[in-house]
């Protein structure tokens, strides 16, 4: 019998615990409780089930077993893995395609309500591809860039163009290995073709194409999505935001936008500020409209507009349980079907908007970027009309302030200033050992593990070890809820060297870099660190690690794989989709070995699945220290730092005047 967990075991977040207690009291089902009731299939979870044809499903339970067609465990695991990676790449990239079409429509004056907000980024990106920019109107440049980007999806030969933005050495390596993606859709389709019954049956050869498919995501579809979002909605820069369910308002119409694409949510933000809509809300008896986000939509509008985040993936049901949400407006990805049934217990309307996503029982108001503002207003009116149906509410009071908005452009600026924006200070801090290394902590919540615990634990431990942390996706929201994304709030938990750097530059120790497609920003940061000099000439030489401690989505696997292809060491927590049976004969399956040691030999990056958080930390620090040693940098020694910056000033301030003088001038006087 699966174990029923306590509230504390289900989530590290007090707001979640409060709502889960309420759900239990009301007898309402949530993903947390369904995860307790439904044990995962141990054969499927280990990657040992093949259901690619009608002879199966073949469930292989012993080392050496094969499917009816003769497929081995290694082949089946490789096929399952590449299919997940292809689905993840498809999701990110299809999002990128829609953004490119929106850019095209904006350039041609056909998209109501949108404009080109960041002309500087448009010009910088266009110039990278030799699109003429001088003397041209932003719309002309945008039209050419949109055409180029749209073409990347259906391109048959050549290379997906954003790959030219990788370090030169990396590009050469990809060419040598034959993994430069030719066209985004082509690689995804080929992944499906190769895994049809009776096609590619050499696991290494299958996974070779997994790398190419993943590069088409990170250095293709995702990068396109991030570029176009910045061009249309503005490149993020730090601003003040809030996170957790306490952002919902008792006296206002609460509308939550949930999903991933910023095209609709940005328009809902604009519509919510329209005087006509505000009046409409007031006429309905509310003080106004309060907008908030869940999942990566939350990150998109939090980073750019400071709209609060109601929570991460596992908060979607909990938000409805407050009884205070008039409408949850969803577009694509990470939306639970369970929302509709859950919402039946309250007045909340679930509104689907994407032509690609409908949920039985939900209200569908289809979004079309050509009439975006009109549709956004229509959606808000539905929510406002629903305000009168609100019953009893139960809004947890937990909310935390945060400062998101660390695009790579902003980090560059913060480190060097307007006229000499540069990654030099970051590289110098790493070289000196003030910063031991960098960790990107990303990815989902998974109801099979305690919500947020792994994200927060791993983040806290690494900060103590002077590792600078950058975050995206639901991981960033977990840190936001825990107060790490606010400079002073997190600093007493930070190691001495990193603390000095954060104080000197004025940044929090954890940098929120955006949504999951914005992991492409991390690729750009890593590239800029390489190009700045002093830390080797390719990403695999950097003392950097990527972690997805609570992953669950196929997109996370795609992200992990393109990070490996780019040279990073990536560790996933939680479940291991290529583990094989627990009683397997060898220490690791052939696939586990291949994506770790095998990929490291080929690309300098490796992928591992590790459940124990302390082991994740150990491996992360071991890797960072090894990379430091390989670069000839001094070994990490925290005792060398912490004698400057704000900490030192506070210490001096506490001394009597004479002693303070002696401390400051004494050494010099001698
Ligand atoms: Ni990323 Fe964003 Fe969250 Fe996981 Fe889902 S919202 S795209 S997949 S659950 S981090």
Burial class of 543 by CB neighbour count within 10 A (0 to 12, 13 to 18, 19+): buried
From the list 326, 321, 256, the residue with the least C-alpha distance to 293 is 256
Reported as a single tens digit per residue, the pLDDT across 260-279 is 999 999 999 999 999 999 99
The confidence score (pLDDT) of residue 422 equals 75
Of all protein residues, the one whose alpha carbon is nearest to atom 6 of ligand 1 is: 295
Mean local confidence (pLDDT), 439-452: 96
Mean local confidence (pLDDT), 53-64: 92
Of all protein residues, the one whose alpha carbon is nearest to atom 2 of ligand 1 is: 296
Residue 516 Cβ contacting ligand 1 at under 6 Å = yes
Residue 95 Cβ contacting ligand 1 at under 6 Å = no
The pLDDT-based confidence of 580 (bands split at 50, 70, 90) is confident
Pocket test for ligand 1, best of 96, 357, 444 (most atoms within 8 A of CB): 444
Q: Is the pLDDT assigned to residue 332 strictly greater than 70?
A: yes
The whole-chain average pLDDT of the chain stands at 93
The pLDDT-based confidence of 417 (bands split at 50, 70, 90) is low
From the list 284, 205, 270, the residue with the least C-alpha distance to 233 is 270
The confidence score (pLDDT) of residue 425 equals 86
Residue 296 Cβ contacting ligand 1 at under 6 Å = yes
From the alpha carbon of 295, which atom of ligand 1 is closest? 6
Q: Is the pLDDT assigned to residue 51 strictly greater than 60?
A: yes
Name the percent of the chain lying above pLDDT 70.
96
The pLDDT-based confidence of 112 (bands split at 50, 70, 90) is confident
The confidence score (pLDDT) of residue 316 equals 98
The pLDDT-based confidence of 219 (bands split at 50, 70, 90) is very high
Residue 15 Cβ contacting ligand 1 at under 6 Å = no
Between CA 515 and CA 416 the distance in angstroms is 25
The confidence score (pLDDT) of residue 669 equals 45
Which domains, and CATH codes, for the chain? 7-59 (no CATH), 73-233 (1.20.1270.30), 241-389 (3.40.50.2030), 408-574+611-637 (3.40.50.2030)
Reported as a single tens digit per residue, the pLDDT across 514-550 is 999 999 999 999 999 999 999 999 999 999 999 999 9
Q: Is the pLDDT assigned to residue 445 strictly greater than 80?
A: yes
The pLDDT-based confidence of 574 (bands split at 50, 70, 90) is confident
Residue 116 Cβ contacting ligand 1 at under 6 Å = no
Name the percent of the chain lying above pLDDT 90.
84
Q: Is the pLDDT assigned to residue 406 strictly greater than 80?
A: yes
Residue 473 Cβ contacting ligand 1 at under 6 Å = yes
Residue 313 Cβ contacting ligand 1 at under 6 Å = yes
Pocket test for ligand 1, best of 473, 519, 550, 563 (most atoms within 8 A of CB): 473
Reported as a single tens digit per residue, the pLDDT across 192-204 is 999 999 999 999 9
261 alpha carbon to ligand 1 midpoint, in Å?
12
Interior/surface letters 30-57, b for 16+ CB within 10 angstroms, e for the rest:
bbbbebbeeeeeeeeebbbbbebeeebe
Pocket test for ligand 1, best of 516, 517, 557, 563 (most atoms within 8 A of CB): 516
Of all protein residues, the one whose alpha carbon is nearest to atom 4 of ligand 1 is: 444
Count of helices and strands (H, E) across the chain: 30, 16
The pLDDT-based confidence of 506 (bands split at 50, 70, 90) is confident
Mean local confidence (pLDDT), 614-641: 95
Q: Is the pLDDT assigned to residue 3 strictly greater than 90?
A: no
CB 602 within 8 A of CB 215: no
Reported as a single tens digit per residue, the pLDDT across 128-183 is 999 999 999 999 999 999 999 999 999 999 999 999 999 999 999 999 999 999 99
Which of 242-246, 539-543, 659-663 is predicted least confidently? 659-663
The confidence score (pLDDT) of residue 641 equals 83
Mean local confidence (pLDDT), 7-17: 97
Q: Is the pLDDT assigned to residue 401 strictly greater than 60?
A: yes
Residue 265 Cβ contacting ligand 1 at under 6 Å = no
Mean local confidence (pLDDT), 382-402: 96
From the alpha carbon of 313, which atom of ligand 1 is closest? 9
Residue 258 Cβ contacting ligand 1 at under 6 Å = no
576 alpha carbon to ligand 1 midpoint, in Å?
18
From the list 36, 273, 262, 212, the residue with the least C-alpha distance to 566 is 212
Residue 123 exposure: Cα atoms within 13 Å on the Cβ side? 10
Residue 31 Cβ contacting ligand 1 at under 6 Å = no
The confidence score (pLDDT) of residue 662 equals 78
Q: Which residues, other chains included, contact 483 with Cβ-Cβ below 8 Å and sequence gap of 6+? A: 400, 401, 402, 489, 490
Pocket test for ligand 1, best of 96, 297, 313 (most atoms within 8 A of CB): 313
68 alpha carbon to ligand 1 midpoint, in Å?
36
The confidence score (pLDDT) of residue 585 equals 58
If phi over 0 gives left and psi between -120 and 50 gives alpha, with beta otherwise, what is residue 497? alpha
Residue 444 Cβ contacting ligand 1 at under 6 Å = yes
The confidence score (pLDDT) of residue 124 equals 97
The confidence score (pLDDT) of residue 522 equals 96
Of all protein residues, the one whose alpha carbon is nearest to atom 9 of ligand 1 is: 444
The confidence score (pLDDT) of residue 670 equals 43
Reported as a single tens digit per residue, the pLDDT across 275-294 is 999 999 999 999 999 999 99
Residue 553 Cβ contacting ligand 1 at under 6 Å = yes
Mean local confidence (pLDDT), 377-392: 97
Q: Is the pLDDT assigned to residue 223 strictly greater than 70?
A: yes
Q: Is the pLDDT assigned to residue 93 strictly greater than 70?
A: yes
Reported as a single tens digit per residue, the pLDDT across 583-627 is 665 677 899 999 999 999 999 999 999 999 999 999 999 999 999
């Amino acid at each position: 019998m699966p174990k029923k967990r306590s509230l504390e075991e289900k989530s590290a977040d007090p707001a979640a615990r409060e709502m889960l207690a309420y759900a239990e009291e009301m007898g309402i089902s949530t993903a947390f409780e369904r995860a307790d009731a439904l044990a995962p299939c141990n054969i499927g979870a280990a990657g040992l089930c093949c259901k690619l044809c009608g002879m199966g499903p073949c469930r292989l339970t012993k080392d050496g077993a094969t499917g009816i067609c003769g497929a081995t465990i290694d082949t089946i695991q490789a096929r399952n893995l590449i299919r997940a990676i292809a689905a993840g790449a498809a999701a990110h990239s299809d999002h990128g395609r829609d953004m490119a079409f929106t850019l095209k429509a904006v350039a041609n004056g056909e998209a109501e309500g949108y404009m080109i907000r960041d002309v500087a980024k448009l010009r910088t990106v266009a110039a990278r591809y030799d699109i003429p920019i001088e003397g041209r109107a932003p719309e002309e440049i945008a039209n050419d860039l949109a055409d180029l980007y749209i073409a990347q999806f259906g391109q048959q030969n050549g290379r997906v163009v954003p790959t030219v933005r990788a370090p030169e050495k990396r590009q050469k390596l990809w060419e040598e290995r034959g993994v430069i993606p030719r066209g985004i859709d082509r690689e995804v389709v080929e992944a499906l073709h190769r895994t049809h019954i009776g096609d590619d049956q050499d696991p290494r050869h299958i996974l070779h194409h997994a790398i190419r498919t993943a590069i088409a995501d990170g250095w293709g579809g995702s990068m396109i999505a991030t570029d176009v979002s910045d061009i249309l909605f503005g490149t993020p820069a730090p601003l003040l935001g809030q996170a957790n369910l306490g952002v919902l308002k008792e006296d206002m119409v609460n509308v939550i936008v949930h999903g991933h694409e910023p095209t609709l949510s940005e328009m809902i933000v604009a519509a919510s500020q329209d005087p006509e809509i505000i009046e409409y809300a007031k006429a309905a008896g509310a003080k106004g409209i309060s907008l908030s986000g869940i999942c990566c939509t939350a990150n998109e509008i939090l980073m750019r507009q400071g709209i609060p985040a109601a929570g991460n993936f596992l908060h979607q049901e909990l938000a409805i349980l407050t009884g205070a949400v008039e409408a949850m407006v969803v577009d694509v990805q990470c939306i639970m079907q369970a929302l509709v049934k859950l919402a039946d217990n309250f007045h909340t309307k679930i509104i689907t908007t994407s032509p690609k996503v409908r949920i039985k029982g939900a209200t569908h108001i289809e979004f079309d970027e050509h009439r975006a503002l009109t549709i956004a207003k229509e959606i808000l009116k539905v929510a406002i009309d629903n305000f009168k149906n609100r019953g009893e509410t139960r809004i947890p009071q937990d909310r935390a302030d945060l400062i998101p908005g660390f695009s790579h452009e902003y980090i560059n600026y913060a480190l060097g200033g307007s006229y000499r924006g540069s990654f030099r200070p970051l590289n110098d801090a790493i070289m000196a050992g003030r910063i031991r290394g960098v960790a990107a902590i990303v990815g989902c919540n998974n109801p099979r593990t305690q919500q947020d615990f792994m994200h927060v634990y791993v983040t806290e431990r690494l900060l103590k070890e002077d590792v600078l942390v950058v975050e995206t996706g639901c991981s960033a929201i977990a840190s936001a809820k825990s107060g790490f994304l606010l400079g002073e709030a997190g600093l007493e938990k930070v190691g001495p060297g990193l603390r000095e750097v954060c104080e000197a530059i004025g940044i929090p120790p954890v940098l929120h870099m955006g949504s999951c497609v914005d992991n492409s920003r991390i690729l750009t940061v890593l590239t800029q660190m390489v190009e700045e000099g002093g830390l080797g000439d390719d990403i695999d030489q950097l003392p950097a690690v990527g972690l997805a401690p609570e992953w669950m989505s196929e997109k996370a696997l795609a992200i992990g794989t393109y990070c490996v292809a780019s040279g990073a060491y990536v560790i996933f927590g939680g479940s291991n989709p290529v583990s094989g049976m627990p009683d397997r004969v060898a220490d690791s399956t052939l696939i586990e070995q291949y994506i770790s040691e095998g990929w490291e030999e080929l690309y300098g990056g490796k992928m591992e699945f590790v459940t124990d958080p302390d082991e994740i930390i150990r491996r992360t620090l071991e890797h960072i220290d090894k990379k430091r040693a390989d670069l000839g940098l001094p070994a990490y020694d925290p005792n060398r730092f912490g004698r400057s910056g704000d900490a030192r000033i506070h210490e001096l301030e506490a001394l009597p005047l004479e002693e303070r003088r002696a401390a400051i001038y004494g050494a010099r006087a001698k």
